Amino acid sequence: MKLQEYQSKQIFAEHGIAIPKGRVAGTAREAKTAAEELGGRVVIKSQVLVGGRGKAGGIRLVNSADEAEDAAAEILGMQIKGLPVRKVLVDEAADISTEIYLGVTNDRTHRRPVIMASAEGGVDIEEVARTDPEKIFKVHVDPLLGLREYQARYLATGIELPRDQWRDFISIATGLYEAYVDSDASLAEINPLVMTKKGSLLALDGKMVVDDNGLFRHPDLAEMRDIDAEAPAEREARKYGLSYVKLDGNIGCMVNGAGLAMATMDVIHLFGGSPANFLDIGGGAGPDKVEAALKIILSDPRVDTVLLNIFGGITRCDDVARGILAAIDEIERKVPMVTRLVGTNEVEGRKLLSDADMLTASSLAEAAQKAVDVAKEIKVK
């Protein structure tokens, strides 16, 4: 789960990291009041969960409360990469002398956290990693020991930070690492961390991604989820514990297991078709879950046909069949379906579906081929 900039920075501040004085505003009027309180010269920053806000015109520096109101009115009406801007952060403008990058993330390869710093702040760090990897300094942290002072110092010397800034920098790095651990984050990033003309370090921007699997420990963070930013189908799927990702094709897929769901999409592709979604009903899904899953798939108007691929283990084929029948009864929209049921209770499952008007297949390849053929026929009509 991604957090908004203002939420991330709030967490950083709770861990002793200096952030600009700021207020969150949902209307231009509120932005004006905030700007007045902050002395007029402020930055209006759209709060949306995508990168490239600046380039899209979603970040503006203004010199008065009236200008702030106008800028906020414009930004609050914008869509950035398809996401509507519903809030802006009004931050006191800072006098920037230099910009640094500082971030902590999970390093899968080393199976431990890595903290990274670069003197090239304020730009896309992945771009720096591609073009000038030697400009990024990395230290792996033993999770049992936590970030040690000497490790933060290594980063400070690496990016050639002036010595009188080391103490501040080490305290910020330590705070950022703690914020990452305390929030079960997979990413905590300050980009840029700026040195002001007065010589103090300030986290101008903040980004955090929290591990969904860790949210049970953080009800406060779970509440921060921006439900508006989620597609309705994805929200519905999450409610039922289904894993759903919408894609661009017209063949809806319902599969048990993530690996098999991916493989099913791949086979559809291989035979010249295009999957409409990734959907894993998980292990041991009962009829209710299957019914919800089929409704979600059919809520996508582009879906012309549905491929159901179930390899029963914990999941029982008869449960799946019952869910399908219940859903078909309730949903008005009829599309041709191809079903392939193998494994636990497959005979019972197939029997239940034998009266329903469906194509069946015994192998995954056969099922995918049939679904692709059906989708093509519909397109021709």
Of the candidates 37, 30, 43, 53, the one whose C-alpha atom is nearest the C-alpha of residue 91 is 43
Strands 305-312 and 251-255: parallel
Of the residues 2, 41, 135, 269, which one makes contact with other proteins according to CB under 8 A? 269
Which residues are CB-contacts of 155 (< 8 A; sequence separation ≥ 6)? 102, 115, 116, 117, 137, 139, 169, 173
Enclosing H/E stretch for 328: helix 317-330
Least CB distance to other proteins at residue 74 (A): 28
Work out whether 106 is an interface residue with other proteins (CB under 8 A): yes
Select the span of 147-155, 157-165, 290-298, 307-315 touching other proteins (CB under 8 A): 307-315
Of the candidates 169, 167, 176, the one whose C-alpha atom is nearest the C-alpha of residue 195 is 169
Work out whether 88 is an interface residue with other proteins (CB under 8 A): no
Work out whether 217 is an interface residue with other proteins (CB under 8 A): yes
Of the residues 17, 80, 161, 267, which one makes contact with other proteins according to CB under 8 A? 267
- CA distances from residue 212 to 36, 127, 218, 220, 259 in whole angstroms, order as listed: 38, 27, 10, 13, 19
Residue 7 one-letter amino acid = Q
Work out whether 263 is an interface residue with other proteins (CB under 8 A): yes
Least CB distance to other proteins at residue 277 (A): 11
Angle at 269 between CA 264 and CA 274, to 5 degrees: 95
Binding mask 28-67 for other proteins (x = CB under 8 A): ----------------------------------------
Least CB distance to other proteins at residue 380 (A): 23
Work out whether 158 is an interface residue with other proteins (CB under 8 A): no
Of the residues 7, 174, 250, 344, which one makes contact with other proteins according to CB under 8 A? 344
* Residue in 189, 240, 244, 346 annotated catalytic: 189
Residue given tokens 């080490």 in the structure block: 170
Of the residues 69, 189, 280, 346, which one makes contact with other proteins according to CB under 8 A? 280
Contact at 8 Å (CB) between 320 and 290? Answer: yes
Whether residue 154 lies in the annotated active site: no
Whether residue 160 lies in the annotated active site: no
Q: Is 151 left (phi over 0), alpha (psi -120 to 50) or beta?
A: alpha
Work out whether 131 is an interface residue with other proteins (CB under 8 A): no
Of the candidates 221, 150, 141, the one whose C-alpha atom is nearest the C-alpha of residue 178 is 141
- Residues catalogued as catalytic: 101, 189
Binding site for other proteins (CB under 8 A): 106, 108-109, 111-113, 126, 129, 142-144, 181, 184, 186, 211, 213-214, 216-217, 243, 245, 247, 255-263, 265-270, 275, 278, 280, 283-284, 311-314, 342-344, 363-365, 368
